[in-house]
Chains A and B, each alone.
Chain A
Amino acid sequence: MSATQAARGPYSDVIRERWRRPRFRGELPGAGAVAEDVNPLCGDRVRLMLALEGERVSAARFVGDSCAICAASADVLAELVVGRSRAEALRVGAADLLAVLQADIRPTRMRCVTLPLSVLATALNGKR
């Protein structure tokens, strides 16, 4: 990690970029799988909407009121699950997100990264 990145703490270039210009933020009308959850520690809220073609995720969007880390994580997750089967999407884990985010996330902020993952699990396992 570069000296600049250390000074920024958890805010890697990827997180800053995804926070300022998210690619998957927005509504998804007619989504077949939707879930929402809250991080009780900070009140962050993420809602994930997925369109399914058979077993395959064909589109994903998120909305929410959250910190930059959580929003960037949701944005990356939406990107990673599109095109995958339901089972493949459920196998996406924190390590996959961190590999893209390229950030030094301390344990106190890990829930910011993983909140979108539990929302995804609810969306794909539960019913609308």
Chain B
Amino acid sequence: MRLDELTRPDFPILERVVNGHPLVYLDSAASSQRPRTVIEAMSQYYARSHANVHRSIHTLGEEATELYEAARDRVQRFIGAQHREEVIFTRGTTDGLSLLAETIGRTLRAGDEVLITELEHHSNIVPWQLATRDRGAVLKAVPLGDDGTLDLGAFERLLTRRTRVVAFAHVSNVLGTINPVAGMCARARQAGAFSVVDGAQATPHLSLDMSALDCDFYAFSAHKMLGPTGLGVLYGRRKVLEALEPGRGALDCDFYAFSAHKMLGPTGLGVLYGRRKVLEALEPGRGGSEMIKEVWIDRAQWNDLPWRFEPGTPPIAEAVGLSAAIEYLEKLGMDAVAEHERALTRQTLEGLAAIPGVRVYGPPASEARGAVVAFSVEGLHPHDVAALLDAEGIAVRAGHHCAMPLMRRLGVVGTSRASFSVFNSPEEVRHLLAAVGELRTAL
């Protein structure tokens, strides 16, 4: 049985009818959908076991802690991390990368360099801009070749003894390019730099093994891999993590913070109010609770790993949901997932390339690619493409995909992007191709 035939009944959202058509969801690169097991694991958790973790000495507190820490163990196995302490729960990929940029950032000195690439998501650009800016450090980017892959010769030239961090995406969220992670991490280590990998677009699609990739850090989001929003994972090699101090400092009393989970709402959500003037003048900063072992008025001793980097009540239900998502993916088998999505990607690339006036971006179909296809239709703005496809029940993403430097490199304001998950079918791709074929006469 084909993977989509097997999985479609598990995704309740696919029963939706949009604008009179059955939903064709081709936006999993932005956020995937959830199988019933994930939704049920989270509501079961809320209905039966919810309490705060780690410090609540009662049955529910213990159950919640057990479930939360079991999720960490499952993530450890799923990504092939050597130690459970190397798995840090965050609020998402952006949060994990920001945490790193803040933490490593305070150790940067004038003249140090951080090396990113031209194909990064804004989340792997802006935190490094903030980290380098005030310390006189320099941010550099590896250029992109015309074939949509990184210029590795330029990478070698840009990597010097001044380079402190090499930060790059495993899979491009626009082009689908799969970067040579293991090789780049090895070169970073030889140069004495931390390697930081943005894994947001890889974790739902590729079989992962941290010891084979041999990176120092690897960040990803639960909501892109059939799991809940509000939760991410930051993997860090234990040796490297142990040497780092938590980067998030004090709060400012011009702010007022509160949690949804203390007012009947979900975990993983909080509100931070700040006077606009104060907010505008300040850089982000955080800290407190689970990341601390002992506190005095003038100092604090940090907690052990991984909790040292998990301030505040963590997204517990979300961790339970992520655990269920991983279980679901593991049952399907990541090799089967990758194969299914490769077939859909190839079908889309070849189909779109055959439509007059349509341009596709990124490496050719014959190359290893992620499950995304960015394209443009001559004479149409990407947002109009997305809106016209939505009228056919087809959900695609359009715009700059949080990668404006890459858009500039491609010479476009934006693109439309179809992306795939386990439940997408060849019939849906045919539906997309037929609809795109009609677009040039639609406006």
Contact = CB atoms under 8 A, between A and B. Distances in A.
What interface size band does chain A fall in? 20 to 34
A11 interface: yes
A10 B442 CA distance: 12
Nearest to A45: B413
B407 A16 contact: no
B391 A42 contact: no
Interface string B83-111: 00000000000000000000000000000
Interface string A4-22: 0001111100001001100
B381 A9 contact: no
A47 to B, nearest CB: 14
B414 A43 contact: yes
Contacts of A9: 19, 387-388, 390-391
A42 B398 contact: yes
Nearest to B381: A67
B381 A11 contact: no
A25 to B, nearest CB: 14
A17 B209 CA distance: 54
B18 to A, nearest CB: 11
Contacts of A68: 380-381, 384, 443
A95 interface: no
B399 A10 contact: no
B213 interface: no
Contact of A11 (B387, B400, B413): B387
A36 interface: no
Contact of B399 (A8, A19, A41, A45): A41
A42 B388 CA distance: 16
A67 B384 contact: yes
A96 B345 CA distance: 44
A43 B383 CA distance: 10
Contacts of B381: 44, 66-68
A44 B413 contact: yes
Contact of A43 (B19, B380, B391, B399): B399
A20 B383 CA distance: 16
A42 B383 CA distance: 8
A11 B443 contact: yes
A106 B400 CA distance: 20
Contacts of B442: 11
B126 interface: no
B334 interface: no
Contacts of A41: 399
Interface of A: 7-11, 16, 19-20, 41-45, 65-69, 109, 112
7 contacts: A42-B382, A42-B398, A42-B399, A42-B400, A66-B381, A68-B443, A69-B384
Interface of B: 19, 380-384, 387-388, 390-391, 398-400, 404, 407, 413-414, 442-443
The 5 A-B residue pairs with the shortest CB-CB distance, nearest first, are: A67-B381, A67-B383, A42-B399, A43-B413, A43-B400
